[in-house]
Structure 1
Amino acid sequence: MKKIIALYRRANTGKTNTLNHLIGLLDKTQEVYGDDLAKDRRVSIPYGNKEIAVTTWGDNGNELNENIKFFEEGNCDILVTATRTWGGSSEKLNDYASKNGIKIVWIEKNTSIILKDLINQTQAKDIQAVINSLINNDH
């Protein structure tokens, strides 16, 4: 069964950096550092016995439509995506999940003024643990 993990919060809280750290955790060949952590991307990663789509875009409905299209075209099992707390992106995600009977796991982006990179790395590991749990409990 397909699943969605939505990392949500307002703009400029580190969602992209966190998801780029997650990409590196899931696929060591795609690790990024420094300024590249802030670059948006969509990647598909074989992980365990599943295909994981990680999409760092998520500020508006159009970006979410592209993320969903990427998820579907890649025949992925789990979509991990950034989204805002309200408006077009979260509405698109809710509508898509509702129409397709897909469960969404909502994860609020942790923030901090100090040690923000450590927070992003730690939250990426937390999301990886959620993915592992979804894979292990998918019967």
Structure 2
Amino acid sequence: MLEWPDIRVIGVGGDLLHENQAMVGPSAVSALRDLRIDVLVLGASAVNADGIYVHSSVELATKRAMIDAAGEVLVAADATKADASGAVRVCGLGPISRIVTDHAWPSAVADSISDADVSFVFA
């Protein structure tokens, strides 16, 4: 984000989740309640027709608070996340507008996600 000075980045504090390089926990959730995020780019461990998943419940409350604060939610998920398994469901597809990915997903998964009015962006 340093290359784009017009994009505002706000750190919310909390506990550092080293494996994901993310700030999580009650302090982060509390800070997010006071913010309005134009566009959220959300990471995921797995994406399928039932929603967005992560491997650990440690980041669950923070991700849900981020979604609640966002005007638009994009999910960044490479093709290996398509129909993969994740232990904890963050949300259904309802809040998601687009999935930013690297390659085409299996048609059955992509079709079920597209049926929920979620589009794909290949980057």
TM > 0.5 between the two? no
Instruction: Name the structure, 1 or 2, with higher relative contact order (CA <8 Å, separation 6+).
Output: 1
More strand per residue: 2
Please tell me whether Structure 1 or Structure 2 has the larger radius of gyration of its CA atoms: 2
TM-score normalised by length of structure 2: 0.32
